[in-house]
């Protein structure tokens, strides 16, 4: 661990001085890891790569502001998360309830990106464990963005059945996941919370 920290510090110093070889090393060391991390939020490989590429371009353009004494790794992971949040806010208006969840997630990222990744993976595992039809309808709505009516028509089932499965998914996930995971669940799968139930 100490060796990695020392290597990152040296890499940061070389980047700050404009060493292009150091930038290539940074890409080799972190690009794939950061893409995997971004994908846990976006669930879309192209979007994840876009985020990471923007972060990498940004770190080179602002290289003179790099502080070698700070963790380069933590900086990169936080930059990826912040870029995702920025994109998320542009995609849709952020209501008060959403802001609370985003702020809670930011506090986790601030303290430990590995913990953040653990929580994200936990959320995905629990979504995968949902009953088959329940999971299918839940993902069509929360991951793919289909409305209840569109799902009803797509699967040739009643609107009431769609709403029943989504409500059931909410209940199962809330029962299985610890309270701290709630904000992560919100970001990973979209607007997962029935706002009426959250008041």
Residue that wins the pLDDT comparison between 99 and 22: 22
Residue 33 has pLDDT above 60, yes or no: yes
Report pLDDT digits (tens) over 172-197: 887 777 655 655 665 555 543 333 23
Residue 179 corresponds to which tokens in the numbers above? Answer: 């309270």
Distance CA 172, CA 131 (A): 10
Q: Which residues contact 118 (CB under 8 A, 6 or more apart)?
A: none
pLDDT score recorded for residue 158: 92
Q: How many Cα atoms are found within 13 Å in the side-chain-facing hemisphere of 74?
A: 13
Listed in sequence order, the DSSP H helices in the chain are 2-16, 20-42, 45-61, 72-91, 96-111, 113-128, 132-142, 148-155, 159-176, 182-188, 195-198
Distance CA 62, CA 70 (A): 15
pLDDT score recorded for residue 192: 38
Instruction: For residue 104, count other CB atoms closer than 10 A to its CB.
Output: 16
- Region 167-171: mean pLDDT is 84
Report pLDDT digits (tens) over 49-93: 998 999 999 888 888 888 878 788 888 888 888 888 777 656 555
State pTM to two decimals. Answer: 0.52
Report pLDDT digits (tens) over 111-136: 566 666 777 777 778 888 999 999 89
Q: What percent of the chain has pLDDT over 90?
A: 15
Distance CA 153, CA 76 (A): 43
Residue 178 corresponds to which tokens in the numbers above? Answer: 């610890």
């Amino acid at each position: 661990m100490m060796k990695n920290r020392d290597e990152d510090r040296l890499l940061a110093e070389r980047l700050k001085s404009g060493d292009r070889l150091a930038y290539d090393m940074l890409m080799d060391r972190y690009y794939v890891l950061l893409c995997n991390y971004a994908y846990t939020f976006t669930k879309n490989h192209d979007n994840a790569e876009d985020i990471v590429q923007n972060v990498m371009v940004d770190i080179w353009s602002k290289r003179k502001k790099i502080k070698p004494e700070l963790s380069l790794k933590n900086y990169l992971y936080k930059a990826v998360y912040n870029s995702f949040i920025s994109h998320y806010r542009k995609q849709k208006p952020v209501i008060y309830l959403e802001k609370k969840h985003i702020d809670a997630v930011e506090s986790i990222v601030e303290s430990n990106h590995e913990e953040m990744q653990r929580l994200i993976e936990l959320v995905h595992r629990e979504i995968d464990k949902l009953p088959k039809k329940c999971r299918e309808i839940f993902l069509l709505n929360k991951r793919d963005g289909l409305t209840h009516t569109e799902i009803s028509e797509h699967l040739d089932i009643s609107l009431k059945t769609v709403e029943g499965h989504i409500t059931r998914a909410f209940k199962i996930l809330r029962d299985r996941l610890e309270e701290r995971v709630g904000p992560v669940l919100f970001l990973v799968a979209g607007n997962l919370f029935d706002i009426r139930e959250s008041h």
